[in-house]
Amino acid sequence: MERVDDLKRGEKGAWISIFAYLILASTKLVFSHIGNSHALQADGLNNATDVVASVAVLIGLKISRRPPDEDHHYGHYRAETIASLIAAFIMVTVGIQVITNTIQKLISLETTQPDMLTAWVALGGAIVMYAVYRFNLKLSRTVDSSALYAAAQDNRSDALVSIGAFIGIGGAQLGLFWLDPLTGFIVGLIICKTAWDIFKDATHALTDGFDEKRIMEIKESVARVADVKKVADVKGRIHGNKALIDITILVDPEHNVEKSHDITVKVERLLEEKHHITYAHIHIEPYYESHT
């Protein structure tokens, strides 16, 4: 229930992103037309596509809150990770588009001098998106949401895009027309790098990857629990930011069922208090001298 409440709180961040993108996209597209700014127009179109990414995150968070059913015994938490993946695909598409557009400008030697008003609109958009980024970043860490974290990184990338537009437009006022495509190219690379990091984390979770260092820490902790003779195996996977752990421990073969159960309770309590793991499947096997 606690995880479901966290996901519901996380939806607030997705809604804030959606409203911010809708307002900024419409404002930038209108002023780019008035002020003849290709940079601001591209920035506005970027915000328009990000509405789709934010909606994907919102849908992922809503689906993740669904309780377990007949064919989803562990719940629907991975929908959140899939939402992160969709956000990464949209981000890399935008990043490649930004890079392509700047290369085309360099090749065509396009020189335009937009109205300075468009630069201030771009800067205002950057400030708004940075504020949204900080809010969503803090919220994503509070509720432990990978999808909302991906949305926050997208917010930051959009703030950088707007700063790039501001610098490019300002450079055009000074006759430095090459500054617009250069900043655009750098921003495009930043967006693609951010998308790659999100994609890598999401695919690692979806393919049941788990941090080896964390596995070793869990194994060492469990091995110190009273009456645990040996930790034979520890496996882990991530299910929508929820760690699922499978542990095989060896205990005295003379223990009865009640005593063995008490040992598993100790292990479960340790995992929850020290490693913040609320779900663990603990398998008990008899310990013999040959296991040493």
As a whole number of angstroms, the distance between CA 245 and CA 236 comes to 4
pLDDT of residue 123 exceeding 90: yes
Over pLDDT 90: what percentage of the chain?
Answer: 25
Place 269 in a pLDDT band, splitting at 50, 70 and 90: very high
Mean pLDDT across 241-268: 90
Residue 110, token pair as written in the block: 């396009």
pLDDT recorded at residue 133: 94
Name the residue among 188, 7, 162, 159 with its Cα closest to residue 83. 7
pLDDT, mean over the chain? 84
Place 190 in a pLDDT band, splitting at 50, 70 and 90: confident
As a whole number of angstroms, the distance between CA 152 and CA 263 comes to 42
Residue with token string 């335009």: 112
Residue 150, token pair as written in the block: 């991906």
As a whole number of angstroms, the distance between CA 133 and CA 220 comes to 38
pLDDT recorded at residue 143: 80
CA angle 172, 174, 177 (to 5 degrees): 35
What tens digit of pLDDT does each residue of 17-28 get? 899 999 999 999
Name the residue among 87, 88, 96, 22 with its Cα closest to residue 59. 87
pLDDT recorded at residue 6: 62
As a whole number of angstroms, the distance between CA 87 and CA 179 comes to 29
* Residue 159 vs residue 53, higher pLDDT: 159
pLDDT recorded at residue 5: 60
pLDDT recorded at residue 292: 58
Place 291 in a pLDDT band, splitting at 50, 70 and 90: low
* Residue 38 vs residue 273, higher pLDDT: 273
C-beta pairs of 135-142 under 8 Å, 24+ apart in sequence: 135/13, 135/16, 136/13, 136/16, 136/17, 139/9, 139/10, 139/12, 139/13, 140/10, 140/13, 142/6, 142/9
> Max CA-CA distance within the chain?
86
Q: Which of 123-127, 159-163, 205-209 has the lowest mean pLDDT?
A: 205-209
pLDDT of residue 174 exceeding 60: yes
Statement: the pTM of the whole predicted model exceeds 0.75: no
pLDDT of residue 77 exceeding 60: yes
Strand 242-251, strand 230-239: pairing: antiparallel
Which residue segments constitute the domains of the chain, with CATH numbers given? 2-206 (1.20.1510.10), 212-291 (3.30.70.1350)
CA atoms within 13 A on the CB side of 209: 10
Mean pLDDT across 123-146: 89
